[in-house]
Amino acid sequence: NNNNNNNINNNNINNINNNINNTDQFSSFCFAVAPMMDWTDRHCRHFHRLLSSKSILFTEMVSTNAIIHGDKDILLSKGDAENPVIIQFGGADPNHFAICSKEAELRGFNGVNINVGCPSDRVQYAKIGACLMAEPKLVAECVYQMKKTVKIPVSVKSRIGIDDQDSYEFLHNFVSEIVSAGCFCRL
């Protein structure tokens, strides 16, 4: 995939600045309710929306493999009252991320998010979550494929580091790689 990597690496600093400043859709929101497995289901999100109309809600993480091979109507269900709501995906296949992002956009989600933060052993065996921080080029390729496919914002939830890789330089390099691929960034 050398050609795709060249497309990502050829983006310049203007692309990074455009993605950092591309916050119009969410600029009036005070806080975001983070995705939490077995917690932020549609009932919880509805309750959170009743508490505040000025929040961005995230779904719990949904595996891209589950969406590709499972019941999309159940896995991608949400109520209009939840908006704005961003769906969080877990996976490692750029093509699966693109397909799932399109499905989410068609079903009215306001954004898509890649989980690169979950430290759980349950997800890391499938190359999901925090372990992906060790592969910024793969995450950037996922972002790139998603951005080619949808018009809604694409974001990444990450940690500040993994294992003994928790320096500013490590985080800066990771963020630079995914932002250059078109990731939505809010500072």
Please give the positions annotated as active site. 118
Residue 135 burial (CB count, 10 A): 16
Calculate the dihedral angle through the C-alpha atoms of 80, 85, 88, 93, rounding to the nearest 10 degrees: 70
Contacts of 28 (CB under 8 A, 6+ apart): 54
Residues near 7 by beta carbon (within 8 Å), at least 6 away in sequence: 144
Whether a cis peptide bond, with omega within 30° of 0, leads into 119 is no
- CA R_g for the chain: 16
Residue given tokens 């921080």 in the structure block: 133
Rounded to the nearest 5°, which phi and psi values hold at 90?
-120, 135
What order of strands is seen across the sheet that includes strand 111-116? 31-33, 55-63, 85-90, 111-116, 154-158
Instruction: Identify the three-state secondary structure at position 90.
Output: strand
